[in-house]
Structure 1
Amino acid sequence: MSGQIVVHQAGNTVVTDLGRFRGPRYGLPVNGALDQYSARAANILVANEENAPLLELTALDFRMKTTSDILIAVTGAALALTVGGRVCPQWEPISVRAGETVSVRGINGGLRAYLAVHGSLDAPSLLGSCAPDTVVGFGLQLRDGTAVGTRRSVPSVRQPYFDMPLFRLPVEQRHPGRLLRVDVTDGPDLAEFGDSAELLFSSEYTVSPRSNHIGLRLGGALPERTTSGEVLSRGVPVGAVEVPSRQELLVLHRGRGVTAGYPVLAVATSLGLDVLAQARPGDTVRFARTTVAEATAAYRRSMHQLETLRESVTAVFNLLGIGSAAHWQDLPAAACS
C-alpha cells in the first residue's frame, strides 16, 4: 500500500469490481458494478485491469482526500467533479495531489458513477471478487471516515505547453436521458403470454423507487399469462424480465438470486443492463426487441471500443513514463480547468 483515500462524505458508495463470476455455482449472485461499460472504462482510463476494484457511487454526493499523489478517472452518470476546488472533466485521467479533496456532486442524467484509481484499491475478497453481497453480508460499504488503501502513487502530470488538455482519448461517453431504450431478446416463456406479449414493446414503463441492485420494478401496461400452470423454480439469467404480479414488471439485475419461479417474458441484453443501471425512479423505459445475434454483435462492438481505448491509454502512459520515477522530476503540477 502506497497511500490511502480517506472518505469525508460517503453518500451511498461501495468498493466493487465486475462481479463474482464463481458465485452462482455456490448459490451466490454475481453482483458487481451495475453499469459494466462505465466501470470497465474507468479502470481502463487509469491503466488498470478491467476487473480491478473501484468505487461505485449511487445517487448521492461523495467527497474524499488522498494521502498520496494519485491518478483517477470518473465515468458513468453526468455530475460535477472537482479536485482541490478545480472543475475537472469526466471520462479522462485526472491527477490528484496528496492532501487534495476530490468532490463528486449533483449526479444527474443517470444514477451511478464510477471512480477508479491507478494501481487500484485494497479491498477484501470473496471467491475472487470484492463485489458486495447483501445476502451474505459481505463487502466494503464506505462510511464517513473510512480509509481505503491505494496501491500506487503517481506524481502529478499536466501538459507543459499552452495549458492544452493532456489526454484526448477515444472513449464513448454514455449519459442516458429520462427516456431509456432497453434492448431485450425473447424469453423462454414468451409464448405463454400470447398476443399480450406485444405490450412489452408498445408500452412505456415507469421506474419504481422500490428498485435496487437486485431488480428494477416497472409500472405500466402488463402482459398477461394465458396459461395457469405453476412455474417450477429454476435458474434465471441476469436481465430476466418477469411478471410476478398484476402491479409491475420486474427486471432482475446483478444482485438477483440464481433461481426463481416466475415466467420469463424477455431477457435484457448486456448493453441493456448498462442502460437500466442508470435508471432513476420516475424515468421512462421502452423495451426494443432484438435477436441474440444482434445483441452479441452490439456487445462485441462495445468491447472493441474499450479495447481501442486501452490501446490509446497504453500508448499515452508509456510516452509519459507513468510508473517511472525519473520521468516526474521535471514535470509541473497538475491542473484542471
Structure 2
Amino acid sequence: MKGRIVVEQPGNSVVTDLGRFRGPRFGLPVNGALDQFSARAANILTGNPDNAPVLEVTALDFRMRADQDLLISVTGAPLTLTVGGREQPQWEPVSVRAGEAVAIRGIHTGLRAYLAIHGSVDAPLLMGSCAPDTVVGFGLKLAEGTVLGIRRSVAPLRQPYFDIPLFRLGLERPAMGSELVVDVTDGPDVAEFGDSASLLFASGYTVSGRSNHIGLRLGGQLPERMSSAEVLSRGVPVGAVEVPNREELLVLHRGRGVTAGYPVLAVATSLGLDVLAQARPGDVVRFRKTTVAEATLAYRASMRQLESLRTTVNTVFKLLGVGDEPGWRELPPAIAI
C-alpha cells in the first residue's frame, strides 16, 4: 500500500523543484526553489535526482507525520530539526520511523529551508515542473491536513553498535548572516549611470519587508541614471538589479516576469541569487563586482562540490542497500497539467 505524509503545521510551505525552464519562452516565470544550491543538496543527500520535488519552508515553523519509514534531509537556513522529538542534524540524511513527527523550528540567520524525501512525493506538473506560479494560480501550497503521497519507503538506518549519527558527509555549508555579500556583473544599462554606478558597491542596502519570490526591494544609497530616455519593455534575466525610482533598488528573483521596462544596472550571479534567497527583512546586502568569467568559475566549483557529494552518497547508499529497488532513480509519472 502506498504511504502518505500528513502536514500538521504548514507554516509557509510549498512543494517545488528547480523551476519551469520551458516557461519563459511562453511568457511564464521560471520560478522554482529560490536557493538552488540548498535544494539540489537536499535531493542529493536523499539519493534523488536534482530536480525531484522538495518542500520549501519559508520563515515559519513546520511539522509533518508519515505512516511509513522515510529517509529525509533538511538543508538551507540554520534551524532546529527534530524527528520524534529528538534533535537531528541538517545537511545529512536522517531516518524517520513511521508515525514520528518531523518538525522544523526556529529558522534563523536565513529564511528558507528545503526538506527532501528519498523517492520524493507526488505533485502536479505544469510544463514539466511542480514549481508554484502565482501568475497562473498553479502550485501545491501546503495547508493543515494536506496529504502527500510517498513514492518510496526506507527502513531506519542506525549505527549497529553505537547510537551516533550514521552519516557525516562533510558538505561545506554556505555561510549565512545578517550581512550578505552578493556578486553581480555589469548590467546592459550600466553606462547610463555614469560615475554614480560605483555607488552600488560603496555601502550596504537594507532588505525591505515587501520583498518576495518575485523580487527583493532594497533601500540605501541609489545610483542615478544620467539619461532621461524612455526604457522600452524588453526581456530581463533573473537576477537583474533595477533602479525603478529614487527610493529603492529592485533585484528580480525567480518569480520575476520575463519582461520589464526599468534600467538594469547589474545582474546578480547564480550563486548570488542563492544568497538573496536567504535574505530576511532588515538584513544588509552588500554587492561585490565580478566578471562573467569569474562567476562561471565560481558556479562550476559549486557544482563540482555537489557532484562530489553525490558520488559519496551513492557509494554509501549502495553499501547500505538504499535505492536497490528497480527504477529507484526514475521518478514515476506525476499529474501533468
Q: Which residue of 1 aligns with 2:192?
A: 192
Change (3 A) 1:158 1:191: same
Q: Which residue of 1 aligns with 2:330?
A: none
In 2: Cα distance, 1:88 partner to 1:101 partner: 12
Letter in 2 for 1:16: T
Which moved further from structure 2: 189-198 or 153-162?
A: 153-162
Q: Which residue of 2 aligns with 1:7?
A: 7
Secondary structure of the residue aligned to 1:108 is coil
Shift of 1:173: 1.3
> Which consecutive segments of 4 or more residues in structure 1 shift more than 3 A?
none
In 2: Cα distance, 1:196 partner to 1:268 partner: 18
In 2: Cα distance, 1:220 partner to 1:97 partner: 49
Q: Which residue of 2 aligns with 1:85?
A: 85
In 1: Cα distance, 2:73 partner to 2:175 partner: 16
Q: How many residues align?
A: 325
Q: Which residue of 2 aligns with 1:43?
A: 43
Letter in 2 for 1:179: E
Q: Which residue of 2 aligns with 1:334?
A: none
Indicate whether 1:205 and 2:210 are aligned: no
Shift of 1:115: 0.1
Indicate whether 1:32 and 2:32 are aligned: yes
Q: Which residue of 2 aligns with 1:330?
A: none
Shift of 1:168: 1.6
Shift of 1:57: 0.3
Indicate whether 1:125 and 2:125 are aligned: yes
- Contact 1:184/1:266 (CA < 8 Å) preserved in 2? yes
Q: Which residue of 1 aligns with 2:290?
A: 290
- Contact 1:110/1:175 (CA < 8 Å) preserved in 2? no
Indicate whether 1:147 and 2:147 are aligned: yes
In 2: Cα distance, 1:198 partner to 1:23 partner: 34
Shift of 1:175: 4.0
Indicate whether 1:59 and 2:59 are aligned: yes
Shift of 1:203: 1.4
Shift of 1:171: 1.1
- Contact 2:318/2:324 (CA < 8 Å) preserved in 1? no
Indicate whether 1:108 and 2:108 are aligned: yes
Secondary structure of the residue aligned to 1:39 is helix
Shift of 1:7: 0.3
Secondary structure of the residue aligned to 1:171 is coil
Shift of 1:324: 4.6
Letter in 2 for 1:203: S
| Identical residues among aligned pairs (%) | 76
In 1: Cα distance, 2:116 partner to 2:2 partner: 16
Q: Which residue of 2 aligns with 1:275?
A: 275
Shift of 1:292: 0.2
Q: Which residue of 2 aligns with 1:329?
A: none
Write out per-residue CA displacement over residues 36-55 of structure 1, whole angstroms, 9 at most, x where no aligned residue. Answer: 00000000000000000010
Indicate whether 1:158 and 2:162 are aligned: no
Secondary structure of the residue aligned to 2:110 is strand
Shift of 1:162: 2.3
Indicate whether 1:255 and 2:255 are aligned: yes
In 2: Cα distance, 1:41 partner to 1:324 partner: 21
In 1: Cα distance, 2:100 partner to 2:282 partner: 36
In 1: Cα distance, 2:55 partner to 2:136 partner: 20
- Contact 1:170/1:308 (CA < 8 Å) preserved in 2? no
Write out per-residue CA displacement over residues 6-32 of structure 1, whole angstroms, 9 at most, x where no aligned residue. Answer: 000000000000000000000000000
In 2: Cα distance, 1:316 partner to 1:192 partner: 54
In 1: Cα distance, 2:223 partner to 2:140 partner: 39
In 2: Cα distance, 1:98 partner to 1:136 partner: 36
Shift of 1:170: 3.1
In 1: Cα distance, 2:219 partner to 2:147 partner: 40
Shift of 1:60: 0.2
In 1: Cα distance, 2:14 partner to 2:65 partner: 16
Letter in 2 for 1:125: L
In 1: Cα distance, 2:174 partner to 2:72 partner: 18
Shift of 1:172: 1.6
In 2: Cα distance, 1:55 partner to 1:93 partner: 15
- Normalised to the residue count of structure 1, the TM-score between the two structures is 0.95
In 2: Cα distance, 1:32 partner to 1:84 partner: 30
- Contact 1:20/1:129 (CA < 8 Å) preserved in 2? yes
Write out per-residue CA displacement over residues 295-323 of structure 1, whole angstroms, 9 at most, x where no aligned residue. Answer: 00000000000000000000000000113
- Contact 1:9/1:64 (CA < 8 Å) preserved in 2? yes
1:171-250 alignment runs, 5 A limit:
171-250=171-250
Q: Which residue of 2 aligns with 1:333?
A: none
Shift of 1:241: 0.1
- Contact 1:66/1:100 (CA < 8 Å) preserved in 2? yes
Secondary structure of the residue aligned to 2:77 is strand
- Normalised to the residue count of structure 2, the TM-score between the two structures is 0.95
